[in-house]
Amino acid sequence: MFRHISVRIRIITAFSVVLACTLGLGLFAINRLATVNASLSDLATHWLPASHGLGEAGQSFELARFRQLQLTTVPESERPEIRDSVNQELAQLSQAIEGSTRHLTSPEERAQAEKIRAELKTYMANSTHYAGLIDTGDMAAAQAYFSQEMRTQARELRNYIQEARAYQVEAGEKAAAYGMEQGATARTLILIALCVTALCAALIGFLMVRAVSVPIARMSDVMKVLSSGQTEVKVPHLGERNEIGQMAAAVEVFRDGLIRNRALEAEAARAREDAEHQRRQAMRDLAADFEGAIGGVVEMVSSAATEMQATAAQLSASAQESSAKAQSVSAAAEQAGSSVTSVAGSAEELGASISEISRQVRHSLSKAREAVGEAEATYAIVNELSGAAGRITSIVDMISSIASQTNLLALNATIESARAGEAGKGFAVVAAEVKTLATQTAHATTEINQQIAGIQATTEQAVRAIENISQTIRIINESSATIAAAVEQQGAATSEIVLSVTQASTGAIEVTQNITGVARMAEETGTGASQVLSASSELAQQAAKLQAQVNGFLAQVRAA
């Protein structure tokens, strides 16, 4: 029954079953996770916010009670600040209770919320009355009211808040436990469903291997046997109405074709032997005809190539002799031209050197003049520096005189402070500091005078050195002018020599060019003769090769 089901239907069915199991597992997991999520959402949006709000309400209530108690014990100046704190805590208490009651849904929770609101309203009225007693200054009545009526009413409000919070905590714990229980149940059920799905997938995979892979492996073994040339093997799965059966039918056709090919190969081998015998006989007849027609032509070409080779050898020898003589004359002319050119080049280099020397002498003369100007300017600057140093000396002397007078004044001030006794001690300290500064100033001016004296001495030495340098540069300037005149005369004489040598070099170059042309013509004649000789030699070699190839071709044809 299953043998006639196609492989495609089997694969589609197996994939559909696996896909259905996977979708069922996914939907079941989503359902379980939705249940857990609902429990957690109820806990997060209902029980925890309500419990947290009631806890903040209880904290604000206790803090407000503490601040109200302080109103009767603190000074009057601090009461406004504490009263503001009480009002703030009561407002936070009202907000916390209203915020927590928004999350209440069950009738029991709403009843608890109504009790808390009623008690809170009463407590707010009592707090207002309590504040009025404090404002009137009746502290005894205020303390009695706070510790009796307000205490009883506060205990009831506190109990209601604690009961509501305990209820919220207990209900939240139950919701959390239920969510954890649902999560554990969902995890267990999902694991069971996953194992079932995995077993189904493994079973389907095993069946697919048995239904598809094993028949294909058998067909592969049969095709390997047929590829080795064994046609006696039996093809399995023939007659099945599926892809495996179609493959088996194709393999059977291949086996039959292989048997027919072997028979055709035997017939073709016999036909090839007959054709080979006829081809050999035809080749022998063709070789005999070819040898008779081509042999004479090859011998005539070889003889003509030998005669051309001898003639080209004689022509090449004559051309080489003419070329050698022309090259000898050309070499002599080139040597003479080279000598004249060398002399011309040397003369030109001498002229260029003299021109460069003249330019350098003019440049040196210019720089010497500039150096004289710079030395004179430097001399003036150094003289100004010496004058400035003298002026600085007079200023330092004045500072030294002021320091001496300051020191004398400080000494007088010290004496006067000593006479003043206890009243002049502060002035004595100042006088001592002034005396110290005057002494330091005197030492500094002394060192400055010494440094300025050294600068003046160095400046005078620089003035004398600059005068000597200026005198030396003037002497160099006069010598450079004399050298420049002599170099210009030498440059004019060298230019005349260069012109004469250049003319002689031009004549020698023309002679060399004419002789070179003769030598080039002789070389071209020799080259042509060499090319003729090479061509005749190549022709003779090709004729010999042609003769050898014809003989080899005939031998191969006869051997075939």
Compare 146 and 316 and report the one with higher pLDDT. 146
HEC string for 356-399:
HHHHHHHHHHHHHHHHHHHHHHHHHHHHHHHHHHHHHHHHHHHH
| pLDDT score, position 45 | 67
204-213, 299-308, 384-393 — most confident range: 204-213
CA–CA distances in Å: residue 191 to residues 181, 184, 187, 198, 511: 15, 11, 6, 10, 115
| pLDDT score, position 233 | 78
Confidence of residue 195 (pLDDT cuts 50, 70, 90): very high
| pLDDT score, position 17 | 82
Tell which residue, 382, 309, 268, 237, has the closest CA to residue 544. Answer: 309
| pLDDT score, position 135 | 83
Q: Answer yes or no: are the C-beta atoms of 166 and 108 closer than 8 Å.
A: no
Report the chain's mean pLDDT, rounded to a whole number.
Answer: 74
The CATH code of domain 2-221 reads: 1.20.120.1730
Tell me which H or E stretch contains 438. helix 425-559
Question: What does the block give as tokens for 339?
Answer: 């000598």
Q: Which of 54-63, 166-175, 471-480 has the lowest mean pLDDT?
A: 471-480
Cβ neighbours around 456 below 10 Å, total: 17
Q: Which residues of 419-444 are buried (b: 16+ CB within 10 A; e: fewer)?
A: eeeeebeeebeebeebbeebeebbee
Query: How many whole angstroms separate alpha carbon 329 and alpha carbon 515?
Result: 7
Whether 525 has a pLDDT exceeding 80, the answer reads no
pLDDT tens column, 502-512: 675 675 566 56
pLDDT tens column, 76-121: 888 888 888 888 888 888 888 877 766 666 778 778 878 888 888 8
Whether 515 has a pLDDT exceeding 70, the answer reads no
Q: Answer yes or no: are the C-beta atoms of 63 and 88 closer than 8 Å.
A: no
Query: How many whole angstroms separate alpha carbon 168 and alpha carbon 163?
Result: 9
For range 545-559, the mean pLDDT: 71
CATH entry, 277-559, from 3.90.550, 3.90.1530, 1.10.287, 2.60.40: 1.10.287
| pLDDT score, position 364 | 64
CA–CA distances in Å: residue 474 to residues 313, 368, 467: 83, 7, 11
Domain parsing of the chain, residue ranges: 2-221, 277-559
Question: What does the block give as tokens for 308?
Answer: 């051309």
